[in-house]
Amino acid sequence: MARWIRHFSDADPSDRALLGNKGANLAGMTQLGLPVPPGFIVTTAACRYVQQTGTIPPDLWTEVDEAITAIEARMARRLGDTDNPLLLSVRSGAAESMPGMMDTILNVGITPATRAGLGRQLGDRFAADAWRRLIQMYGKVVLGAPAEWFENALSGALLATGLPSEHEFDTASLLHLAERFESLLAEHDLIIPADPREQVRQSILAVFKSWNSERAIAFRATHGLPEQSGTAATIQAMVFGNRNEQSGTGVVFTRHPGTGDPGLFGEFLINAQGEDVVAGTRTPFPISNLQDMPAWQTLPVQLQAIGDQLELHYADMQDIEFTVEDGRLWILQTRNGKRSAAAAVRIAVDLTHAGVIDRAEAVRRIQPEKIESLLHPGLDDGRPVNVIGNGLPASPGAARGVIAIDTADARKRAAEGTRVILVRAETAAEDYPAMAVSEGILTARGGMTSHAAVVARGIGKPAVTACSDLTINTRNQTITIGTVTLAVGDELAIDGGSGRVITGPVTLAPAELDAYARTILDWADEFRHLAVRANADSPEDARGARALGAEGIGLCRTEHMFFGDGRLSTIQTLILAETDDERDQALARLEQFQTDDFIGIFRAMDGFPVTIRTLDPPLHEFLPHRPANIAALAKRLNVDTETLRDRIEAHRESNPMLGLRGVRLSIVHPGIATMQARSIARAAIACIHEGIDVRPEIMVPLVSVTEELSRQREVIEKAVASIVDKSGVSITIRIGTMLELPRACLRAGRLAEYADFFSFGTNDLTQTTFGMSRDDSARYLPTYLSEGIYRTDPFQTLDQQGVGELIQMAIERARAVRPEISMGVCGEHGGDPESISFCHGIGLDYVSCSPFRVPVARLAAAHASLANPIEQPLLTAAD
Ligand code: PEP
Ligand code: MG
């Protein structure tokens, strides 16, 4: 058996690591009996050998020669034959699909000696065009000639002929262009080998080399793909979609990649090669149009049958490239189709209903982060907008930002925090980094399967393509759409759901989860062990969180309630009060505000726990700093400005994050915690009278010693009793604490004696474990990340070794004392999939995150359970 190559007909299609995704699929399709042009694969092992040793594997070229001979026999054509030459394609293909990131060479095998024969077989114009394409691709990819040489030569030829595109060139013009290309190469001693087998060999090596192209490396870095695995090279007989009017080429998805709707979805170009579709140089027409074209009517039927077969075989939606040569259909490639998040969800649900996959697999297929993009804003349809152009709705969602037409400019603006809409004639692989940082993408050309469309759907960015009224003027740095001209830096909006391009004010409305997303999330709930709560501070947020599936509130930051109308001035009065009377009046007013807020929140969370944290931030945060505001407050309090300024100054701390905040505040000013506990009790009683199942929990922040918690517990219990005792209602209000200081984790066993629950405040716990300010880390974090000192931002993804170990230690110590104690995380990490997986692994009961992260957390918790099932009863909402 050959060592470095595998034939399509006998390779093991399950060995993707060796064959690459493309090669494995071609082998799989060949073995399914589909019409695949014959070919073979030079394996990734050969690529690794070349890259590691810088030499060619022994016997590789002999094996390649023998395999070519086998193709020659199947196609009844010979490589280098002057009468009936065989042409080959040499394509890249790694184990993980990296669309458009590596190189491919087509038409390998044309030489001055075979050109005439090719012309006799397929027409002179065709031969001249194929030759010109080979020189261009081989020159660029194998010989490393800059693309501009060819582009400039082509522009010259277009000018000279006055024709709009090279597709209109006659044979003479094409040959002339090819000669120009050849002489450009020759000027730099770059020669296309006259021996077709040498062409094949050099093409294989160039494909291997493209594994290390800048864009391929960037793509792998963004997608977390391994660096070492290498690419395979697939060598296959060429079939020609640009042979005549009975030929063509297309791409078909077995389901709609934007919406997931069932039914074939694709595009077709008559008399064209595959790269014409992908590069977006000609805008193809929808496959559905074929039904109205008598010569093509059977094609959709054939494609449907093949699509069904492939979808069933691979148990997923397929993206199939095909070519028709002189009426004969050839399948060139199939792969699991890239899709928008919405389509991924719908397809997973539909395939489950069809019995192709099960619920666990459906849940596994949705990346947690992706589901959040379903909550990306759409256009608020209630409001009129100024539509200046239309294109194809290539990737759903609406976006607005400033226009950038240059990728470097787009990246620069995005790095500065500006929202950018990237506007291009069309996009190519090297535009990927700019697309990834833009809000949305608008192109003048390219269909629903163009690079721009495929990439945008993959990364969840809204896109409108083929906006034919769009022209880009790089010299003036403007774009024109119809009659409207806009400058780079001007605002623009796109609606990738409808294809509209819009100027002027637009309102983006949050999208709701549709029935498919709700189904997937319901299925996720069947598997997960972690409960998911939300961090919410208002009745409105609580309702939103409930709608997204939050099973309670894990953190209600009460300080956020003090910034509303009339409240800020009341708390300012409280802080600055000079007499008990003033203080009591302010507290009474606040108690009323708080009671009303809590009633709203308890109503939204009927039947679910609501964890309310007593006041946490330093009081200085509530006081004015600007002279005008200080003067206004002085007037209201009837004191002179100087005096007030001194009193405000007295609250200033050099390090407020480590200062008079959290439980320390309540120890020094017990009135605030008392007022809050009374409000919670009053609100709970009012709700019980309404028949609501209230489950309040009061949480004390920033505790480090047991005495703080035991005293605070007493204050809270007393305040609650002062309300409950005279109400005649029986109610349980659980009291717990946040663990957000290392000392609290170390002393968790003692703290557990006074806590019904623990909530790990991983924001502060990270801050204090690293000794790194949450508010100032942006100055050095980017350097730490780019230098690889931190793998990830510890404020986003939990530091498992350090902070994580403190949490694990605390869990063990607490459970040893109080086995039934419930514990969760309420820092930002509660919405981060990697951190959620850790929380699951260490046996926490719940995570709590911002409302929009709730669907992400539900899925991430299910993924964690599916990857690492643990034997414990599923939590109920009441945990
Ligand atoms: C925390 O510290 O993790 C936390 C949730 O509290 P805050 O972010 O309000 O300090
Ligand atoms: Mg905190």
Per residue in 589-645, pLDDT (tens digit) is 999 999 999 999 999 999 999 999 999 999 988 998 889 889 999 998 889 999 999
Of the residues 176, 256, 376, 451, only one is catalytic, namely 451
| Residue 689 falls in the annotated catalytic set | no
Measuring CA to CA, which residue among 108, 297, 128 is closest to residue 206?
Answer: 108
Over residues 366-380, the mean pLDDT reads 82
Residue 377 banded pLDDT, cuts 50, 70, 90:
confident
Q: Give the Å distances, CA to CA, from 615 to 397, 610, 674, 675.
A: 39, 16, 11, 10
Q: Which residues contact 685 (CB under 8 A, 6 or more apart)?
A: 723, 724, 727, 729, 731
Q: Which atom of ligand 1 is least distant from the CA of 763?
A: 3
Q: Which atom of ligand 1 is least distant from the CA of 557?
A: 9
In 10 A of CB 375, how many CB atoms? 21
Confirm if 488 and 409 have CB atoms less than 8 A apart.
yes
3-state secondary structure of 787: coil
Residue 719 banded pLDDT, cuts 50, 70, 90:
very high
Of the residues 826, 829, 839, 849, only one is catalytic, namely 826
Please tell me the distance from the alpha carbon of residue 562 to that of residue 555, in angstroms, as a whole number: 16
> 743 CA to middle of ligand 1, Å?
16
State yes or no: pLDDT of 874 exceeds 50: no
> 586 CA to middle of ligand 2, Å?
26
State yes or no: pLDDT of 795 exceeds 80: yes
Predicted local confidence at residue 541, as pLDDT? 87
Nearest CA to ligand 1 atom 10: 764
> 375 CA to middle of ligand 1, Å?
25
Pocket of ligand 1 (CB under 6 A): 555, 557, 616, 740, 761-764, 826-827
Out of 657, 661, 740, 745, give the residue to mutate to test ligand 1, the one with the largest number of ligand atoms within 8 Å of its CB: 740
Q: Which atom of ligand 1 is least distant from the CA of 764?
A: 2
pTM of the predicted structure, to 2 decimals: 0.76
**Taking all residues of the chain, what is their mean pLDDT, rounded to a whole number?**
92
Measuring CA to CA, which residue among 509, 527, 518 is closest to residue 549?
Answer: 518
Indicate which ligand has the atom closest to the C-alpha of 559. 1
Instruction: State the number of CA atoms in the 13 A half-sphere of 386 facing the CB.
Output: 9
Out of 558, 759, 764, give the residue to mutate to test ligand 1, the one with the largest number of ligand atoms within 8 Å of its CB: 764
| Residue 451 falls in the annotated catalytic set | yes
Interior CA angle at 403 toward 399 and 408, to 5°?
Answer: 110
Measuring CA to CA, which residue among 238, 110, 86 is closest to residue 174?
Answer: 110
Q: Which two tokens stand for residue 680?
A: 């919670």
3-state secondary structure of 537: coil
Predicted local confidence at residue 595, as pLDDT? 96
Residue 765 banded pLDDT, cuts 50, 70, 90:
very high
3-state secondary structure of 500: strand
Name residues with Cβ closer than 5 Å to ligand 2, which is an ion. 740, 761, 764
> 762 CA to middle of ligand 1, Å?
7
State yes or no: pLDDT of 745 exceeds 60: yes
> 828 CA to middle of ligand 2, Å?
10
Predicted local confidence at residue 458, as pLDDT? 65
Out of 663, 763, 767, give the residue to mutate to test ligand 1, the one with the largest number of ligand atoms within 8 Å of its CB: 763
Please tell me the distance from the alpha carbon of residue 438 to that of residue 272, in angstroms, as a whole number: 32
Q: Which atom of ligand 1 is least distant from the CA of 761?
A: 3
Please tell me the distance from the alpha carbon of residue 708 to that of residue 721, in angstroms, as a whole number: 20
Nearest CA to ligand 1 atom 8: 763
> 740 CA to middle of ligand 2, Å?
6
Indicate which ligand has the atom closest to the C-alpha of 554. 1
Nearest CA to ligand 1 atom 4: 761
Q: Which two tokens stand for residue 594?
A: 């708080």
Nearest CA to ligand 1 atom 1: 761
> 608 CA to middle of ligand 2, Å?
23
Nearest CA to ligand 1 atom 6: 761
State yes or no: pLDDT of 273 exceeds 80: no
| pLDDT tens, residue by residue, 776-794 | 887 888 899 899 999 999 9
| pLDDT tens, residue by residue, 384-408 | 889 999 998 888 789 999 999 999 9
Q: Which atom of ligand 1 is least distant from the CA of 826?
A: 5
Over residues 301-315, the mean pLDDT reads 95
State yes or no: pLDDT of 447 exceeds 80: no
